Amino acid sequence: MSYAEVYERSIADPDGFWMQAAEAIDWDRRPSKALFDEHAPLYEWYADGLVNGCWNAVDRHVQAGHGDRVAIIHDSPVTHTKHEITYAELQVRVASLAGALQAKGVTKGDRVIIYMPMVPEALEAMLACARLGAIHSVVFGGFAANELAVRIDDCTPKCIIAASCGIEPGRVVQYKPLLDGALALAEHQPEFCVILQREQQVAHLEEGRDVDWHAFQYGTRPADCVPVEGNHPAYILYTSGTTGQPKGVVRHTGGHLVALNWSMRYLYDMNPGEVFWAASDVGWVVGHSYICYAPLVFGCTTIVFEGKPVGTPDAGTFWRVIQDHRVKCLFTAPTAFRAIKRDDPQGALVEDYDLSSLQSLFLAGERADPDTIQWAMDKLGVPVIDHWWQTETGWAICGNPMGVEPLPVKIGSPCVPMPGYDVQILDEAGHPMPDGELGAIAIKLPLPPGTLPTLWQAEARYRKAYLEHFPGYYETGDAGYKDADGYLYIMARTDDVINVAGHRLSTGAMEEVLAGHPEVAECAVIGVTDALKGQLPMGFLCLNKGSNHTADQVVADCVKLVRDKIGPVAAFKLAVVVDRLPKTRSGKILRATMVKIADGADFKMPATIDDPAILDEIAVALRTLGYGK
Ligand code: COA
Ligand code: AMP
């Protein structure tokens, strides 16, 4: 079948399309239908089926005789170690961990927070939760204690599973003190914490609360898989919203298994037994979908890579991993390639490795700039596929369906909609825009399986944030256009989300932190263009009248404050003190204009500006940071 036929069928007959796709999943009870639209505009998939995520990711492959196949490869240049775990071994490890959790009272529906670096145990913890029907929520290690505390209070976990430490180039990140700090801040307290002691930094265990990962499994019975309803939440993954309160994206079990499994064959063109490598982090959606669940559900080998594209030890690391493990498909963020290209512009290190196994490179998480795509195509000699998606959708909205029919690559476009995504470009009033014209990107409801049905215990916020602006549609928060061939182009966010090294951050959340500084009367944070990370946050601070603090002092405090409250991942290092912020006559801060000035781009003076002279003051301040014209 051609892409057009596949896509048309998914839109014309969603139930038929997705029931057929569901046949690739092992159900304990087959669902009676795919789409449950009784509560539109809230939709669910496979709601009356019974299924287990861990069974599908692990046990069924062992049962089918593939127990000796490698499930997980841990490749860790930061610890100079590599090891492999077969499906049979994974089954034993996960059943044992799940058994120990069960013995301590974790059951279906309980929440479990996972705060771990890139070690296989992070996947094992996720799968152990799935085995029991417990709902995991993985928190990225680069977040500060405060962010962890916010998530603890929102999803009220019965248990937290953490590692003693993570390893960043040049430093050991002590996770345990961050966890202890978060628990001191949080109102909700888990019943217990499971700590994986790593040899690089053994943590103190709090008697009565903390248990050792290995010791607590001793003598417990391995757990069986607990079937859950198709609409039972597999996990909650928090992502940046417009305030300091992150949004808890919920993922239902049935749809997530079906859609991810479909994508492995038809989007990424994989076969069971082949090696898939998503160079991301388990704390992000890419890690959930394509380090953990999709490759395992589909029966591939997945790589847990604990390192960076450069500096661990050099810009040839990615090529070494591809060669050593015969990677067929690599998925990463464009920023990783920009980092490699910066260190090795000629791609000389590529020559040192055998990359014959590699068939495609997929990029996502941020805009893929044409230079980077071209460089990657030239150096690797494989198709470089940009694809576009979000934490909310869990898998690609647009991409090039390499396993159906590879479509011509148009550099700058993440290609065409995946099955079930009826992508439309709308004007402010919600009318479809002609081809080639920029508008808000919205998806006609229902979204396909695997996408978010709601936000964790925040249905009203879900409706307000995604469904209300364009009734009958899901609002993506991205703006862009479609060309005459139906290819999509993603141009900008329509909200305050910025993308720093493929990490999604909210400038609003950073403004909340800065406003908490006692000397800051008013502030604004914008995302400025950065050659390596895509965007970087930059803060503008207005001090209280009569403040006797120096500007340098306040800037240094603010940089520290954001690192302490949000975390190093925010990469907030640029800030400047100004007298006033440019605003409209109704008092709205003109952030978009400030971005244009910082990027040295041409801009039109906003008609509603209150005092144009402030823009000159902003330009002067920006020059002190080396930005603007
Ligand atoms: N735990 C603790 N700290 C972490 C962390 C983790 N898991 N991940 C990142 N950090 C810290 C870094 O050490 C750094 O701290 P610093 O300010 O003390 O140097 C800070 O957070 C920013 O990290 P990062 O954005 O990763 O920048 P970097 O300079 O360390 O590396 C790149 C730059 C481009 C090499 C890196 O961002 C990268 O590999 N990006 C790939 C993007 C990606 O995987 N995105 C996921 C979506 S697909
Ligand atoms: P996240 O939820 O962290 O995956 O971030 C999702 C956001 O990243 C999207 O809404 C886009 O703004 C941006 N994004 C992801 N993939 C792409 C892409 N291929 N091209 C442009 N922007 C992208």
Contacts of 255 (CB under 8 A, 6+ apart): 44, 45, 46, 230, 448, 449, 450, 451
Is pLDDT at 370 greater than 80 in this prediction?
A: yes
Question: In angstroms, rounded to a whole number, what is the distance separating the alpha carbons of residues 104 and 234?
Answer: 20
What sign does the dihedral 310-313-319-325 (CA atoms) show?
negative
- List pLDDT tens digits, range 539-575: 999 999 998 999 999 999 999 999 999 999 999 999 9
Pairing state between β 135-138 and 301-305: unpaired
Q: Could you please report the per-residue DSSP string of 589-615?
A: B-HHHHHHHHTT---PPPTTBS-THHH
pLDDT at 429: 95
User: Residue 323 is encoded by which pair of tokens?
Assistant: 């060669």
pLDDT at 241: 76
Ligand 1 centroid to 214 CA: how many Å?
Answer: 29
Confidence of residue 629 (pLDDT cuts 50, 70, 90): confident
173 lines ligand 1 (CB under 6 A): yes
Which of 388, 474, 533 has most ligand 2 atoms within 8 Å of CB, for mutation? 388
Q: Could you please report the per-residue DSSP string of 290-330?
A: IIIIHHHHHT-EEEEE-S-SSSSS-TTHHHHHHHHHTEEEE
Q: How far apart are the first and last CA of the chain?
A: 52
Ligand 2 centroid to 301 CA: how many Å?
Answer: 26
Locus of tokens 């990027």: 599
Please report, as a single letter, which amino acid is at residue 254.
Answer: G
Which of 147, 285, 335, 566 has most ligand 1 atoms within 8 Å of CB, for mutation? 335
Collapsing DSSP to helix, strand or coil, 21 comes out as: helix
**116 and 163 in contact (C-beta within 8 Å)?**
yes
Alpha carbon distances (Å) from 241 to 85, 289, 461, 509, 540: 37, 21, 10, 8, 21
Ligand 1 centroid to 336 CA: how many Å?
Answer: 10
pLDDT at 306: 98
166 lines ligand 1 (CB under 6 A): yes
287 lines ligand 1 (CB under 6 A): no
- Atom of ligand 2 at shortest distance to CA of 286? 4
Q: Is 218 exposed, middle or buried (0-12, 13-18, 19+ CB in 10 A)?
A: exposed
Work out the widest C-alpha separation in the chain, in whole angstroms: 75
- Which ligand sits closest to the CA of 534? 1
Contacts of 552 (CB under 8 A, 6+ apart): none
Beta bridge pairs of residue 455? 249
pLDDT at 244: 73
- Atom of ligand 2 at shortest distance to CA of 477? 10
Alpha carbon distances (Å) from 560 to 146, 240, 611: 13, 20, 32
- Which ligand sits closest to the CA of 537? 1
What sign does the dihedral 26-396-266-43 (CA atoms) show?
positive
317 lines ligand 1 (CB under 6 A): no
**191 and 158 in contact (C-beta within 8 Å)?**
yes
- Which ligand sits closest to the CA of 441? 2
- Atom of ligand 1 at shortest distance to CA of 573? 17
Is pLDDT at 530 greater than 80 in this prediction?
A: yes
- List pLDDT tens digits, range 592-617: 999 999 999 998 899 899 999 999 99
- Atom of ligand 1 at shortest distance to CA of 569? 21
- Which ligand sits closest to the CA of 117? 1
Residue nearest to atom 10 of ligand 2 (CA): 390
Ligand 2 centroid to 457 CA: how many Å?
Answer: 25
User: Residue 175 is encoded by which pair of tokens?
Assistant: 């996770």
Residue nearest to atom 14 of ligand 2 (CA): 366
H or E element that contains 523:
strand 520-530
517 lines ligand 1 (CB under 6 A): no
pLDDT at 240: 85
Which of 286, 288, 308, 562 has most ligand 1 atoms within 8 Å of CB, for mutation? 308
Question: Which residue in 465, 453, 466, 109 sits closest to 250, CA to CA?
Answer: 453
Per-chain mean pLDDT for the chain? 97
Contacts of 570 (CB under 8 A, 6+ apart): 500, 505, 510, 537, 562, 563
Ligand 2 centroid to 477 CA: how many Å?
Answer: 10
Ligand 1 centroid to 480 CA: how many Å?
Answer: 28
Is pLDDT at 527 greater than 90 in this prediction?
A: yes
168 lines ligand 1 (CB under 6 A): yes
| Domain-wise residue ranges, the chain | 497-624
Alpha carbon distances (Å) from 520 to 136, 333, 435, 445: 38, 35, 45, 43
- Which ligand sits closest to the CA of 240? 2
Ligand 2 centroid to 391 CA: how many Å?
Answer: 8
Question: Which residue in 62, 28, 67 sits closest to 48, CA to CA?
Answer: 28
Is pLDDT at 42 greater than 80 in this prediction?
A: yes
Burial 334-367 (b: 16+ CB within 10 A, else e): bbbbbbbbeebeebebbeebebeebbbbbbbbbb
- Which ligand sits closest to the CA of 333? 1
Question: In angstroms, rounded to a whole number, what is the distance separating the alpha carbons of residues 232 and 449?
Answer: 13
User: Residue 279 is encoded by which pair of tokens?
Assistant: 């160079």
Pocket of ligand 2 (CB under 6 A): 239, 285, 364-368, 386-391, 414, 477-478, 490, 493, 499, 504
Give helix 507-515 / helix 551-565 axis angle, nearest 10°.
120
What is the assigned CATH class of domain 497-624?
Answer: alpha beta
Which of 489, 504, 533 has most ligand 2 atoms within 8 Å of CB, for mutation? 504
**406 and 2 in contact (C-beta within 8 Å)?**
no
Pairing state between β 159-163 and 192-196: parallel
**418 and 399 in contact (C-beta within 8 Å)?**
yes
280 lines ligand 1 (CB under 6 A): yes
Question: Which residue in 188, 123, 231 sits closest to 452, CA to CA?
Answer: 231
Mean pLDDT for 385-412 is 97
pLDDT at 243: 73
pLDDT at 245: 85
- List pLDDT tens digits, range 261-287: 999 999 999 999 999 999 999 999 999
Please report, as a single letter, which amino acid is at residue 625.
Answer: L
In whole angstroms, how large is the CA radius of gyration of the chain? 24
Question: In angstroms, rounded to a whole number, what is the distance separating the alpha carbons of residues 573 and 563?
Answer: 9
Residue nearest to atom 7 of ligand 1 (CA): 141
Alpha helices in 63-119 (DSSP H): 87-103
Q: Is 606 exposed, middle or buried (0-12, 13-18, 19+ CB in 10 A)?
A: middle
Is pLDDT at 242 greater than 90 in this prediction?
A: no
Is pLDDT at 40 greater than 90 in this prediction?
A: yes
Ligand 2 centroid to 468 CA: how many Å?
Answer: 21
148 lines ligand 1 (CB under 6 A): no
Locus of tokens 């287990």: 52
- Which ligand sits closest to the CA of 573? 1
Question: Which residue in 124, 128, 123, 188 sits closest to 158, CA to CA?
Answer: 188
Residue nearest to atom 8 of ligand 1 (CA): 142
pLDDT at 324: 98
Q: What is the pTM of this model?
A: 0.96
239 lines ligand 1 (CB under 6 A): no
Ligand 2 centroid to 473 CA: how many Å?
Answer: 19
Ligand 1 centroid to 334 CA: how many Å?
Answer: 13
pLDDT at 446: 98
